[in-house]
Structure 1
């Protein structure tokens, strides 16, 4: 199943304090995204992809963990929540939610998990 703008918009509507939702590749490319206010989603995806790659390498090297399923980055004025996605493609994808610092992180995590469950846990790369 492809997670398109409709499903991402539904995710934004469900999570109070959400600013944007996007799908990105491990290489830092924006696949799909929606936002409530002007944000540079291409830059956000690229930066979070770099952090995710570094965390994956560090966890694999130090802890023997095969995957980093979630990553949380708290910044001034914005919080980035990244959740990895299983794909049919060898290209790893992730879901990124940008939130206000006051947003309910538990609600964001639950809504993200439900979205991926609704997608069957496996997301097809758009062609």
Structure 2
């Protein structure tokens, strides 16, 4: 959201669409939508951050999307996951698995793109 506001202030063209916020935690999802009791003692410490998200959603800057845990691609960056989950996430992100012998055959060109030598 900061990037969107900054680019508009600088006069840069920015797509006028909502920023998607993917959430897999039902409690957080319901709190951001306003479907839970915020007067709970355990919710007291996050009221400021929560109101920021709720305001962004109500103003149309952001869109809250429930995404199941198995579909969260960035989970492997924040917690330990199994090999199947890690492989699926890396494949979805376009990360290639290169063996040691294949890496030795990569010749770095003067451009930013590597050149594969057979």
Normalising by the smaller structure, the TM-score range is: under 0.3
Q: Between Structure 1 and Structure 2, which shows a larger proportion of strand residues?
A: 1
* TM-score, length basis structure 2: 0.22
Q: Between Structure 1 and Structure 2, which shows a larger proportion of helix residues?
A: 2
Structure possessing the higher radius of gyration over alpha carbons: 2
Higher RCO, 1 vs 2 (CA within 8 Å, ≥6 residues apart) = 1
* TM-score, length basis structure 1: 0.21
